[in-house]
């Protein structure tokens, strides 16, 4: 195995996981020294190294995640895997030491698990970097005064369609995602991306459990993703909260959620509420069942689908809706840029009180406007 100094391969930057800590890993930004690309560097937490030198569940989960990411790479939805391997640095934040980099050679990653864990090295994955302001948990967190945020219906339906299409192709390969929570979902208004496949499963063929896994995945999608994006609430009732993350907790997280509370969002499309309640009651056994219901909801919102064409007025209304939503996103982005610009001014040393007071007044107003933004 080719072992090299870590810093010759990656320049490790800052932690980027602080708002949504994972159980298995710490995640930092890093610069890949081969091509200058900024990556998300996911390294196993040192507490998961066992005293006896054999890999624990958590270490094996890294190989498992890399394997699933390669299997699912033909879908545009999962985060891209660039490289995987092992590193020797003992501290949580890997500074110095050696690295063995295996690209996306999963067989080599697997073969080297026992030898390298035996030497106290830790597995890492180098992943496509996804920006924090597109993470749905980050952008939908309630404000200090508990103001909820939700996605517009048009965007939520679009996201649900993309998620369902992704699960359809994953389920065809007997892969279930399982770990549905907003912390793992990125959305820019148009394109869905998903991270963290170490709790996902590759189910055995032709068993009764396969069908149960597939049905459970649809349940988790409905209650763990689609419900929160349309209500800004957690399915266990109440404000959006970080969700527990260890293997046992992932299995149990939504097990008791068999009804959803729409009392804070009573105007949400009745057909959508109905679909999600059916999902919560585990009446949708396959992703196809979910898609059929979702298509019915989408048609009511102006989507023109082969199975059920919509009427011209609804189609036209949806075109205006999409244009309006993209303008809104641009407007919110412009507000953030304006804030950056005023913040640059306010930190200048020699400005006088007149200028500073006026800058602070405007900044407070911009913050207020952003707190009440229309799109999360």
Ligand X SMILES: Nc1ncnc2c1ncn2[C@@H]1O[C@H](COP(=O)(O)OP(=O)(O)O)[C@@H](O)[C@H]1O
- How far is C-alpha 335 from the geometric centre of its chain's CA atoms? 25
Q: Residue 257 binds which one of ligand X, Mg ion, none, with CB within 5 to 8 A depending on kind?
A: none
**Residue closer to ligand X (CB basis): 130 or 221:** 130
Shortest reach from residue 26's CB to ligand X, in Å: 8
CA atoms of 197 and 177, how far apart (whole Å): 7
Cα distances (Å, whole numbers) of residue 372 to 134, 228, 243, 263, 359: 18, 18, 25, 21, 20
Shortest reach from residue 103's CB to Mg ion, in Å: 24
| 128 sits near ligand X (criterion: CB under 6 A) | yes
Shortest reach from residue 70's CB to ligand X, in Å: 15
- How far is C-alpha 326 from the geometric centre of its chain's CA atoms? 21
**Residue closer to ligand X (CB basis): 241 or 355:** 241
| 182 sits near ligand X (criterion: CB under 6 A) | no
Nearest position to ligand X, beta carbon:
22
Residues in 341-370 at the binding interface with ligand X, rule: CB under 6 A: none
Q: Which of residues 83, 158, 196, 217 is near Mg ion by CB under 5 A?
A: 196
Residues in 34-73 at the binding interface with ligand X, rule: CB under 6 A: 40, 42
From the list 14-22, 162-170, 323-331, 343-351, the region that binds ligand X by CB under 6 A is: 14-22
CA atoms of 221 and 231, how far apart (whole Å): 14
- Are 132 and 138 contacting, i.e. CB atoms less than 8 angstroms apart? yes
**Residue closer to ligand X (CB basis): 59 or 127:** 127
Pairing type for strands 4-5 and 38-44 reads unpaired
Q: Residue 84 binds which one of ligand X, Mg ion, none, with CB within 5 to 8 A depending on kind?
A: none
CA nearest to 176, candidates 84, 26, 71, 277: 71
Shortest reach from residue 175's CB to ligand X, in Å: 16
CA atoms of 312 and 291, how far apart (whole Å): 23
């Amino acid at each position: 195995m080719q072992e090299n100094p870590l810093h010759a391969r990656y320049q490790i930057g800052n932690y980027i996981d602080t708002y949504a800590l994972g159980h298995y890993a710490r995640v930092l930004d890093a610069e890949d020294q081969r091509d200058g690309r900024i990556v998300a560097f996911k390294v196993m937490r040192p507490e998961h190294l066992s005293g006896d030198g054999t890999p624990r569940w958590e270490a094996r989960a890294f190989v498992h995640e890399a394997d699933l990411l390669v299997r699912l790479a033909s879908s545009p939805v999962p985060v891209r895997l660039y490289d995987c391997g092992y590193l020797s640095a003992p501290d949580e934040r890997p500074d110095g030491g050696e690295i063995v980099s295996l690209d996306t050679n999963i067989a080599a990653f697997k073969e080297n698990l026992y030898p390298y864990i035996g030497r106290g090295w830790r597995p890492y994955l180098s992943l496509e970097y996804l920006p924090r302001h597109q993470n749905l948990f980050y952008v939908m967190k309630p404000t200090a005064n508990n103001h909820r945020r939700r996605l517009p219906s048009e965007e939520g339906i679009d996201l649900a369609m993309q998620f369902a299409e992704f699960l359809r192709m994953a389920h065809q390969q007997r892969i279930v995602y399982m770990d549905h929570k907003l912390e793992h979902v990125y959305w820019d208004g148009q394109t869905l991306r998903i991270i963290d496949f170490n709790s996902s499963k590759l189910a055995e063929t032709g068993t009764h459990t396969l069908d149960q896994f597939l049905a459970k995945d649809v349940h988790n999608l409905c209650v763990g993703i689609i419900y929160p994006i349309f209500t800004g609430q957690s399915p266990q009732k109440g404000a959006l909260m970080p969700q527990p993350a260890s293997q046992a907790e992932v299995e149990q997280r939504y097990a008791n959620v068999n009804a959803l509370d729409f009392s804070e969002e009573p105007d949400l499309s009745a057909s959508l509420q109905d679909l999600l309640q059916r999902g919560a009651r585990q009446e949708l056994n396959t992703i196809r069942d979910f898609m059929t219901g979702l298509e019915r909801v989408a048609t009511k919102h102006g989507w023109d689908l082969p199975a059920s064409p919509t009427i011209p007025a609804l189609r036209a209304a949806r075109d205006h809706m999409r244009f309006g939503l993209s303008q809104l996103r641009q407007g919110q982005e412009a507000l953030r840029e304006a804030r950056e610009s005023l913040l640059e001014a306010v930190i200048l040393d020699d400005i006088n009180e007149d200028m500073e007071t006026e800058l602070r007044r405007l900044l407070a107003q911009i913050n207020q406007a952003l707190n009440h933004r229309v799109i999360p």
